[in-house]
A and B are shown apart, each in its own frame.
Chain A
């Protein structure tokens, strides 16, 4: 069977199209694809996607997070062990976060992180055989958007939902931001942290995000309007 872009693919399927392109130019094969000598096989069930230039991946439904380098994640500090914090990221084992990898942290000036704190951090090391390592600074030593998330509310979702709401074409966040003020942090590990001015608004944002998982772009817009009108009704 010939696979083409946008098809539903299953593990074990072979994609000849990618190997044909690879003869002439470089191809980037993302999650869900695996190369065996000159053939490319599918390893996850989902939809085969392509982005120019020559980037292929399988968009699959998944809830288990597998750490990979460079991703921003939300984790909970579960242990202070000497000079590192252990952070639960939802992977197979907790990730390590050095207390020195915070902005302005020195050996004398430790960052104020307690057990149970929620942090937004970047995966620095993620390999099959080693404990993943997190950092809360960029390469210039600036914290940027990373760090401890205070207050707010954390909930879990599937990994595909995170990708859906972070897609530039998804209208969810654009519709919600018009309705009321809120702050959001979406971790690639399937955790979302939200903070709004009231509990009602926080719950509304959370429900809107979870409801968006299987809706089309048009439906998302109308759903956001619904949520906003219900909330307005409650407030008045």
Chain B
């Protein structure tokens, strides 16, 4: 909260003649904020002030219980729906992300990188040693 507090000019500066406009503006702003509290005092309840953001209310079961799609077709009654079901199945099997690079290729490449990295610092170390 402290960090969020607006930086304000010291009172001595505000009292100077050329700062009159700014001083008036700041006073007006302060009045406005206080006015807000009075204005909405009956609307804003204690409950609202204490409300913690840890509760998420949900009125539908579909986000709570784990349910399957409600439209299904079996044995070729509706090929369009069956195609969509196939696609869904593939997506579930592959996890939520399609891989551009397979795990094996990635492991191989990373292995090569590691080897290069391991060999290169030793070379530079040798060079340094030669310098001394």
Binding site for B on A (CB under 8 A): 22-23, 25-31, 33-38, 40, 49, 51, 55-57, 59, 66, 68-72, 120, 126, 144-146, 162-163, 166-168, 173, 176-177, 180-188, 195-197
Known: A31-B61, A49-B65, A51-B65. A26 touches B56 (CB 8 A): yes
Question: 1/0 per residue B48-80: CB within 8 Å of A?
Answer: 001011111111111111111111111111100
> What distance in Å separates the Cβ of A63 from its nearest Cβ neighbour in chain B?
14
Bound CA–CA A25/B53 (angstroms): 10
Q: Which residues of A contact B46 (CB under 8 A)?
A: 37
Report the minimal beta-carbon distance from A221 to chain B, rounded to whole angstroms: 17
With beta carbons under 8 angstroms apart, the residue of A22, A55, A72 that contacts B71 is: A72
B107 close to A (CB within 8 Å): no
Task: Please state if A163 and B65 are interface contacts (CB–CB under 8 Å).
Answer: yes
Contact B64 A31 (CB under 8 A): yes
* Residue B26 interfacial (CB < 8 Å): no
Among all A-B residue pairs, the 4 with the closest Cβ atoms: A181-B75, A30-B64, A177-B74, A145-B71
Please tell me if the beta carbons of B74 and A28 are within 8 angstroms of each other in the complex: no
Q: Verify if B84 is at the interface (C-beta below 8 Å from A).
A: yes
Given A72-B70, A182-B74, A183-B74, are A23 and B64 also a contact pair (CB < 8 Å)? Answer: no
Q: B61 contacts which chain A residues (CB < 8 A)?
A: 30-31, 57, 163, 188
Given contacts A30-B64, A57-B61, A120-B71, 17 further A-B contacts (CB under 8 A): A22-B52, A26-B55, A27-B56, A29-B57, A29-B58, A30-B58, A30-B61, A40-B55, A69-B59, A71-B62, A163-B61, A167-B67, A168-B67, A177-B75, A181-B76, A183-B74, A183-B77
Interface pairs (18), CB distance under 8 Å:
A22-B55, A28-B64, A29-B57, A29-B58, A31-B58, A31-B61, A55-B64, A57-B64, A68-B59, A145-B71, A166-B70, A180-B75, A181-B74, A181-B76, A182-B74, A183-B72, A184-B73, A188-B61
Bound Cα distance from A65 to B102, whole angstroms: 47
A40 to B111, CA, bound (A): 53
Contact B70–A57 (Cβ < 8 Å):
no
Main SS class of interface, A:
mixed
- Whether a CB of chain A sits under 8 angstroms from the CB of B103 is no
- For residue B82, which residue of chain A has the nearest CB? A183
Q: Which of A29, A38, A144, A187 contacts B84 (CB 8 A)?
A: A144
Q: Select which of A26, A70, A162 is within 8 A of B60 by beta carbon.
A: A70
Q: Which of B47, B54, B58, B66 contacts A23 (CB 8 A)?
A: B54
- Chain A neighbourhood of B53, CB < 8 A: 26
Q: Contact at A31–B59, with CB atoms within 8 Å?
A: yes
- The verdict on A28 contacting B58 (CB below 8 Å), with A51-B64, A183-B77, A195-B77 known, is yes
Nearest-neighbor residue (CB-CB) of B80 within chain A = A145
Closest residue of chain B to A69 (Cβ to Cβ) is: B60
